[in-house]
């Protein structure tokens, strides 16, 4: 098996190349995705191999990008549209809420919407206003769409491939804070496709459970490293990967094993995925708990301008503090 | 109904000052030498400010931003026509207007350093903050113009946006509102030929952007946007129409984004040197300078003095902004502006955040001395946004 060490930008780019080669119905569209290869270069050079008809620079119009992707999808193509930043999906939010998620149900399966909407998300790169939010929960509240967020180059490739092959519409969030900061070995000659709707146990353990996803996985793992090495901590870390529909089973099994849970996410606190997970644990595993669940989250404020963003994003001290609370209970 | 044709309103075009600094005297607006020099000073100031900010950005002292270089005539020319009671509704590439309307160099740099504090003094001046989501601010102009109309004020709402913005629904919906309700608005489009890597011809199949006004029953005008006189005259006329109850105008100012889209952009990927050279010869600042010199309003010595003063002012503004950054500003003050009264649960969150920030410098980009002993990352150590 040969591998290549790639960043997430590169592995996503690879996944697009692979899927476009595999299926002539796959095309990418969006602002600056063609000649420029995307502002983050995720669609780089696709235009060279597949031409301007399959790597399409559209006018600056998110509603048309998302709505036309819906049209392409119900027609029988497999569009992968890029919205330049998740903060600009809102121009086309209507299409997601009113059409993408409903067409299967309201046509009794006559139509499906096999499209992927890709967008960079999250903060931490001292970007301009509207380029930092973690708004994934808005989409988790829309039954009918699948919401995915990878946490590293390898699962990014495997999840994007799965998303493109999915017959349900997928909102695919790419945490830009880790677009280029992590490299991983990618099994390039292996068609690795990750199952959607399945969480991954990033580190098996028995002492307590940390549930997280996306950019916070690395922050969490880095925070835990020293304690694991020096204090023999034995955490189980769950990487959600798909935020909706949520993988109950992996979460509940872990809770039953450890009885102690910390949930970490960058998105605002109220209505964050932690709230949903806590509700489900309450429904299905309440009596397995040995301590109240802690959550470490972004705050219930708009994301501050970048000078103050360090106060907003969960970091190692905040995560450690929560874990200690759960352990000493 | 027999076959016929519908005659559409035609689009006026205007240019007064050409690339060589020659003017069409018949069309020249009446401006005093002082007014002309003031316009020149603001154009030059904006140019130098962005150039210096580019250097600071490359040194990691400030964050990503979009320079205005090449668009000074469109910005200052239109700003000159605005009165205090008019509203300025910006997108994100209107530095010349901001400076004309009183933005300090310190506030400019504080914005680029990532502080909301830069916008603290907006109240009462009729200037909205920047709107980053392309074209969304066009609808706000309809609302502000509506308010002006309800109150029967002699004022206008002037909204700025780019060529790319004309592809968004918001632009069309706002124009339609202003057309149907006969609102006192001016839609000022800086057509700088590019929306990041997307050239105008991929943005629209229309022969001009100005003609988009016609379908909404709004007046459309196209001007040479690198000609400060033409821009001023067109803006003045549009504002007069608006203030006098004659409805809205869409002005398309033809210009060119000479620099990068933002400091994270690389134009060599998508456009040619030839195109850049062609527009270099049409530069708004150099042609205005030629004109002023030909009239003896400006000479090399005066220009040099002006350059020195500007450089000094920019440096001082930057230093003041950096002083602010290092002055230990409250890292959690943003909690105070979410609601009029802070909800109890948010108050608890703020207190939790406070206890967790205690003893650490959480302000990004504060200098080493200020950061000492903390885990904070300094500006320049982090990955840049690519937009
Ligand atoms: C709704 C929305 N979509 C995408 C973006 C990302 N973006 C920022 S500026 C820009 C291009 C804007 O082009 P134009 O309107 O011509 O203005 P210019 O940048 O040339 O001044 C894009 C796509 C955004 N800010 N808002
Ligand atoms: Mg433009």
In this predicted structure, what is the pLDDT of residue A239? 99
| Shortest-distance ligand to the CA of residue B193 | 2
- CB contacts under 8 A, B 294-333 vs A, are 325, 329, 331-333
From B325's Cα to the closest Cα of chain A, the distance in A is 9
Q: Give the phi and the psi of residue B142 in degrees, each rounded to 5.
A: -60, -40
Q: In this structure, are B130 and B217 located in the same domain?
A: yes
> Do the chains contact at B269 and A301, CB–CB below 8 Å?
no
From B321's Cα to the closest Cα of chain A, the distance in A is 12
Domains and CATH numbers, chain A: 3-187 (3.40.50.970), 200-328 (3.40.50.920)
Q: Whose CA is nearest to atom 6 of ligand 1?
A: A84
B387 touches A at CB < 8 Å: yes
- Please name every residue paired with A244 in a beta bridge, in sequence order, or none if there are none: A147
In this predicted structure, what is the pLDDT of residue B368? 54
Positions of A marked catalytic: 131
In-domain check, residue B285 = yes
Q: In this structure, are B194 and B309 located in the same domain?
A: yes
3-state helix, strand, coil in chain A (%, to 5): 40, 20, 40
Cα A274 to averaged position of ligand 2 atoms, centre (Å): 41
Residue of A nearest to B266 (CA): A36
Check whether B267 has a pLDDT greater than 80: yes
Q: In this structure, are B93 and B127 located in the same domain?
A: yes
Q: In this structure, are B16 and B40 located in the same domain?
A: yes
A52 touches B at CB < 8 Å: no
Range of the domain at B145: 12-326
A311 touches B at CB < 8 Å: yes
Closest CA to A72 of A108, A107, A26, A33: A26
Indicate which atom in ligand 1 lies nearest the CA of residue A60: 23
Looking at residues B48-57, what average pLDDT do you find?
98
Q: In this structure, are B270 and B380 located in the same domain?
A: no
Q: In this structure, are B59 and B124 located in the same domain?
A: yes
From B201's Cα to the closest Cα of chain A, the distance in A is 9
Looking at residues A17-23, what average pLDDT do you find?
98
Looking at residues A200-205, what average pLDDT do you find?
98
Average pLDDT, chain B: 94
Q: Among the three residues B278, B298, B326, which one is the final residue of a domain in this structure? A: B326
From A195's Cα to the closest Cα of chain B, the distance in A is 30
Looking at residues B186-201, what average pLDDT do you find?
98
Q: What would the pLDDT profile of B72-111 be if each residue is shown by its tens digit?
A: 999 999 999 999 999 999 999 999 999 999 999 999 999 9
Q: What would the pLDDT profile of A151-200 be if each residue is shown by its tens digit?
A: 999 999 999 999 999 999 999 999 999 999 999 999 999 999 999 999 99
- Residues with a CB atom less than 6 Å from ligand 1: A 31, 60, 62, 84, 88, 91; B 93, 132-134, 161-165, 192, 194-196, 257, 261, 387
Sign for the CA dihedral angle at B331, B337, B338, B340 comes to positive
Indicate which atom in ligand 1 lies nearest the CA of residue B166: 15
Structurally, how many domains does chain B consist of?
2
B119 touches A at CB < 8 Å: no
> Do the chains contact at A61 and B332, CB–CB below 8 Å?
no
Q: In this structure, are B25 and B127 located in the same domain?
A: yes
> Do the chains contact at B364 and A310, CB–CB below 8 Å?
yes
Positions of B marked catalytic: 257, 261, 270
A248-to-A240, A251, A258, A259, A326 alpha-carbon distances in Å = 10, 5, 16, 15, 21
- CB contacts under 8 A, B 37-56 vs A, are none
Q: In this structure, are B195 and B242 located in the same domain?
A: yes
Q: In this structure, are B251 and B316 located in the same domain?
A: yes
In this predicted structure, what is the pLDDT of residue B376? 32
Are the C-beta atoms of residues B155 and B184 closer than 8 Å to each other?
yes
In-domain check, residue B331 = no
> Do the chains contact at A41 and B386, CB–CB below 8 Å?
yes
Give the separation between CA B315 and CA B49, rounded to whole angstroms: 9
Q: Which of A48-57, A179-188, B313-322, B367-376 has the lowest mean pLDDT?
A: B367-376
Give the separation between CA A188 and CA A15, rounded to whole angstroms: 10
Q: In this structure, are B41 and B150 located in the same domain?
A: yes
Q: In this structure, are B229 and B348 located in the same domain?
A: no
Q: In this structure, are B223 and B298 located in the same domain?
A: yes
Q: What would the pLDDT profile of A100-119 be if each residue is shown by its tens digit?
A: 999 999 999 999 999 999 99
Are the C-beta atoms of residues B222 and B160 closer than 8 Å to each other?
no
Judging contacts by C-beta atoms under 8 Å, the chain B residues touching residue A309 are 114, 364
To the nearest whole percent, how much of chain A has pLDDT over 90?
Answer: 99
In this predicted structure, what is the pLDDT of residue B299? 97
User: What is the DSSP track for A68-135?
Assistant: HHHHHHHHT-EEEEE-SSGGGSGGGHHHIIIIITTHHHHTTTSS----EEEEEE---S---TTSS---
In this predicted structure, what is the pLDDT of residue B39? 98
In this predicted structure, what is the pLDDT of residue B367? 73
Q: Give the phi and the psi of residue A194 in degrees, each rounded to 5.
A: -90, 145
Give the separation between CA A276 and CA A280, rounded to whole angstroms: 6
B31 touches A at CB < 8 Å: no
B140: pLDDT confidence band, cut at 50, 70 and 90?
A: very high
Please tell me the total number of residues recorded for chain B in this structure. 387
Q: Give, in degrees to the nearest 5, the angle at Cα B313 between B312 and B318.
A: 100
A308 touches B at CB < 8 Å: yes
In this predicted structure, what is the pLDDT of residue B382? 33
User: What is the DSSP track for A259-289?
Assistant: --EEEEEEEESTT-HHHHHHHHHHHH-GGG-
- CATH number for the domain that contains residue B19: 3.40.50.970
Give the separation between CA A38 and CA B356, rounded to whole angstroms: 38
Mutational test site, ligand 1, from B68, B96, B134, max ligand atoms within 8 Å of CB: B134
In this predicted structure, what is the pLDDT of residue A154? 98
B376-to-A219, A315, B26, B331 alpha-carbon distances in Å = 14, 11, 61, 12
In-domain check, residue B135 = yes
Q: What would the pLDDT profile of A263-316 be if each residue is shown by its tens digit?
A: 999 999 999 999 999 999 999 999 999 999 999 999 999 999 999 999 999 999
| Shortest-distance ligand to the CA of residue A39 | 1
Say if residue B189 is exposed, middle or buried (CB neighbours under 10 Å; 0-12, 13-18, 19+). buried
Q: Among the three residues B276, B298, B326, which one is the final residue of a domain in this structure? A: B326
Q: What would the pLDDT profile of B330-386 be if each residue is shown by its tens digit?
A: 999 999 999 999 999 999 999 999 998 888 889 988 875 544 433 333 333 333 444
In-domain check, residue B150 = yes
Ion ligand 2 contact residues with beta carbon within 5 A: B 162-163, 192, 195
In this predicted structure, what is the pLDDT of residue B361? 87
B109 touches A at CB < 8 Å: no
């Amino acid at each position: 098996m040969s591998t290549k060490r790639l960043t997430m930008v590169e592995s996503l780019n690879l996944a697009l190349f692979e899927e476009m080669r595999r299926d002539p119905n796959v095309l990418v569209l969006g602002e600056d995705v063609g000649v420029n290869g995307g502002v983050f270069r995720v669609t780089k050079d696709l235009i060279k191999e597949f031409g301007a008809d399959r790597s399409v620079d559209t006018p600056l119009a998110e509603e048309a990008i998302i709505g036309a992707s819906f049209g392409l999808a119900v027609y029988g193509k497999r569009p992968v549209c890029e919205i330049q930043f998740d903060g600009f999906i809102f121009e086309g939010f209507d299409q997601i809420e009113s059409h993408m998620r409903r067409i299967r149900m309201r046509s009794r399966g006559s139509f499906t919407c096999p499209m992927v909407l890709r967008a960079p998300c999250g903060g931490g790169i001292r970007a301009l206003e509207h380029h930092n939010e973690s708004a994934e929960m808005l989409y988790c509240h829309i039954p009918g769409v699948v919401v995915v967020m990878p946490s590293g180059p390898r699962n990014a490739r495997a999840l994007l491939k799965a998303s493109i092959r999915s017959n349900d519409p997928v909102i695919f969030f790419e945490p830009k804070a880790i677009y280029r900061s992590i490299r991983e070995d990618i099994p390039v000659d292996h068609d690795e496709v990750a199952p959607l709707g399945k969480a991954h146990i990033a580190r098996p353990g028995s002492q307590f459970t940390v549930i997280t996803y996306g950019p916070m996985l690395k922050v969490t793992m880095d925070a835990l490293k020293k304690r694991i090495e020096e204090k023999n901590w034995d955490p189980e870390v769950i990487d959600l990967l798909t935020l909706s529909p949520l993988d109950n089973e992996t979460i509940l099994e872990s809770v039953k094993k450890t009885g102690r849970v910390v949930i970490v996410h960058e998105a605002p606190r109220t209505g964050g995925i932690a709230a949903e997970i806590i509700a489900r644990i309450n429904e299905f595993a309440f009596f397995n708990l040995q301590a109240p669940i802690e959550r470490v989250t972004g705050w219930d404020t708009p994301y501050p301008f970048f000078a103050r963003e360090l106060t907003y994003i969960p970091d190692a001290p905040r995560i450690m503090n929560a874990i200690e609370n759960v352990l000493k209970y | 109904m027999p076959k016929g044709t519908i005659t559409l309103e035609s689009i006026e075009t205007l240019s007064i000052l050409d690339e060589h600094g020659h003017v069409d005297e018949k069309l020249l607006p009446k401006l005093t030498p002082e007014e002309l020099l003031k316009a020149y000073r603001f154009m030059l100031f904006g140019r130098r400010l962005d150039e210096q900010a580019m250097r600071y950005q490359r040194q990691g002292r400030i964050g990503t931003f979009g320079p205005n270089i090449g668009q000074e005539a469109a910005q200052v020319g239109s700003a000159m026509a605005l009165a205090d009671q008019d509203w300025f509704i910006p997108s994100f590439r209107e530095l010349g207007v901001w400076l004309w309307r009183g933005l300090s160099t310190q506030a400019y740099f504080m914005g680029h350093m990532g502080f909301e504090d830069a916008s603290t003094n907006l109240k009462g001046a009729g200037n909205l903050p920047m709107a980053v989501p392309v074209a969304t601010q066009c609808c706000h102009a309809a609302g502000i113009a509506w308010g002006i109309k309800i109150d029967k004020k002699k004022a206008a709402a002037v909204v700025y946006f780019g060529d790319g913005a004309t592809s968004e629904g918001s632009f069309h919906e706002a124009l339609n509102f202003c057309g149907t309700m006969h609102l006192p608005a001016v839609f000022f489009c800086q057509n700088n030929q590019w929306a990041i890597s997307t050239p105008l011809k991929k943005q629209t199949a229309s022969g001009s952007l100005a003609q988009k006004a016609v379908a909404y029953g709004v007046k459309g005008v196209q001007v040479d946007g690198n000609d400060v006189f033409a821009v001023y005259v067109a803006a003045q006329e549009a504002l007069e129409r608006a203030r006098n109850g004659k409805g809205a105008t869409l002005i398309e100012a033809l210009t060119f984004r000479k620099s990068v889209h933002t400091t994270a952009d690389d134009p060599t990927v998508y456009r040619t040197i030839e195109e850049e050279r062609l527009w270099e010869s049409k530069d708004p600042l150099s042609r205005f300078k030629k004109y002023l010199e030909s009239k003896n309003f400006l000479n090399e010595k005066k220009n040099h003095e002006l350059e020195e003063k500007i450089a000094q002012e920019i440096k001082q503004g930057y230093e003041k902004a950096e002083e602010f950054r290092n002055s230990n500003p409250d890292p959690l003050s943003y909690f105070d502006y979410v609601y009029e009264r802070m909800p109890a649960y948010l108050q608890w969150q703020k207190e939790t955040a406070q206890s967790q920030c205690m003893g650490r410098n959480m302000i990004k980009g504060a200098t080493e001395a200020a950061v000492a002993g903390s885990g904070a990352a300094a500006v320049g150590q982090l990955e840049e946004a690519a937009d």
